[in-house]
Amino acid sequence: MLDLRLYMAQRLSAMVMIPLTLGHLAVMIYAMRGGLTGGEILARTQGSLFWFLFYGTFVAAVSVHGAIGLRVIVHETFGTRGRALMLLTWGSCLVLFLMGARAVLAVTLA
């Protein structure tokens, strides 16, 4: 259930996330050395414009990418189409974006 527009949104968001995901993986492996505390995470990220933009972009891209992926899986598994499928796509995009935005604000704004 993908036309050209959705396909492009899926591939472009994927391309945006490639460096972000690799960065995220690297940060995780680095940060996990010798245990992890909430204070450590926040000390690194709070008040940092860089991490705000890094994770802000990440959240925007993953909302688009995840919603379209979910749409394809639901359509191909349950045969959902039309308005229900559109609602699911936009609904999941919105939930991911709002929850993600809240998380980004929580860890980057002091």
| Degrees to nearest 5, angle at CA 57 with 88 and 3 | 40
Asked if residue 27 binds other proteins (CB under 8 A), the reply is no
Please identify which residue in 44, 47, 53, 73 interacts with other proteins, judged by CB under 8 A. 73
- Give the start-end residues of each E strand in 40-102: none
Polymer length of the chain? 110
In whole angstroms, the minimum distance from the beta carbon of 7 to other proteins comes to: 4
Contact 16, 61 (CB under 8 A): yes
What is the distance between the alpha carbons of residues 35 and 32, in angstroms, rounded to a whole number?
5
Q: Does residue 3 bind other proteins (CB under 8 A)?
A: yes
Residues in contact with other proteins by CB under 8 A are 1-4, 6-8, 11, 14-15, 17-18, 21-22, 25, 28-29, 32-33, 35-39, 42, 62, 66, 69-70, 72-73, 75-77, 92, 95-96, 99-100, 102-107
